[in-house]
Structure 1
Amino acid sequence: MTEPATPEIRTSAKAVILHEGQVLLMRANWDDQECYFLPGGGQHPGESLGDAVRREVDEETGLTITVERLLWLREYIGANHDRPVLEAKTHRIEAIFLCTPTSDPHQLGGHAQDDAQTGLEWVPLGKVPDLNLLPHAIRQPIADLAETRPAPDSYLGDVA
């Protein structure tokens, strides 16, 4: 009997970049759908999560940023969601940071964009819940950043 494959855990850092009541999102065509993602990506061995998010944002957007604080920690264990067989080996941990741009927020254009990326867009926080922003579980928490309220729990758990 063959043992089930052990998932490799992939860590990444994502950025919620806020400027004048808007958040910067990556437009993408992924899995046959038009959608949005937060800028960011995989952490390299020996790289801090803060350095990873700064590098990834520069690569994908051309912006330099200041990392303000950790907002949320998200897990995604593929076997627990929509495509358990296809994603049985998928296990991601994402640190999602609140960031502010330190370079001109209107000069966008990364030098190493993701293959699925089709553009960048500043979106008013109030419009985020209506977007196909993936994962869906972060739409309302991002929109809530427009209001002054106590910080929600930082650990989002295993969510799709």
Structure 2
Amino acid sequence: MNQRNSAKAIILANQQVLLTKNRDEEGFFYLFPGGGQHFGEALAETVQRECLEETGFSVDVGELTFVRDYIGKHHEHASFDSNVHQVEFYFLCSLTSSVTATDPKEPDNHQVGVEWVPLSTLNSIRLYPKQLIGSLLTHLQGSSAPVYLGDIN
């Protein structure tokens, strides 16, 4: 069994969100930047390190906004993810004052780039977790959205 914590960034600017662009046998898909927490590393440090590795941007970590369980055996990729249980912590982040990005230092295996995606088009792209979109848009409109989202994909 593979169990770990993961810290993710929700980086917003000009009604857009910064996502990693990835490719698999089904085509392009998008993820929030972030990844696995190292032993002895605070979640905020994980977000900062992972954003630099995957996007080339330095971020200031803000409030914890969502928590998601991902239990692979319950979802569409169970054929290769059935032994994965990951708890993901999503933080609202902003770019540091030095907005210039360098190239991603350590992109993920399927990653082919980084893209600013308009919030209005999130429902038309393959974004994981899909069910986070509604909660995010609700939160950004100032309405109450649950912090704990459960085992969603």
TM-score, normalized by length of structure 2? 0.90
Q: Displacement, 1:141?
A: 2.4
Deviation at 1:82, TM superposition (A): 2.9
User: Which residue identity lines up with residue 72 of structure 2 in the other structure?
Assistant: G
Structure 2 residue matching 1:25: 3-state secondary structure? strand
Give CA-to-partner distance per residue, 1:113-150, whole Å, 9 cap, x none. Answer: 11211111111211112211112111222333542323
State the secondary structure of the residue aligned to 1:136. coil
Q: Cα deviations across residues 5-47 of structure 1 (Å, max 9, x unaligned)?
A: xx23121101000112211011100353311111011100110
Among 39, 49, 52, the residue aligned to 2:33: 39
Aligned-partner residue type, residue 148 of structure 1: G
For 2:92 and 2:120, how far apart are their aligned partners in 1? Answer: 17
Question: What value does the CA root-mean-square deviation take over the aligned residues?
Answer: 1.8
Q: Secondary structure at the match of 2:47?
A: helix
Shift in alpha-carbon separation, 1:122–1:78, aligned structure 2, 3 A: same
Q: Is the 8 A contact 1:125 1:146 kept in 2?
A: no
Larger Rg: 1
Which segments of 5 or more consecutive residues in structure 1 lack a partner in the other structure? 1-6
Q: How many residues align?
A: 153
Distance 1:107 1:36 in 2: 19
Matched, 1:51 2:34: no
Q: TM-score, normalised by structure 1?
A: 0.86
Q: Which residue identity does 2:138 align to in structure 1?
A: D
- Structure 2 residue corresponding to 1:130, chosen from 110, 119, 124: 124
1:153 is aligned to 2:146: yes
| Identity of matched residues, % | 37
Q: Does the 8 Å contact 2:135/2:146 carry over to 1?
A: no
Do residues 26 (structure 1) and 15 (structure 2) align?
no
AA in 2 matched with 1:158: D
Q: Cα deviations across residues 64-106 of structure 1 (Å, max 9, x unaligned)?
A: 1111101110111112223545433111111011100014445
Partner of 1:107: 101
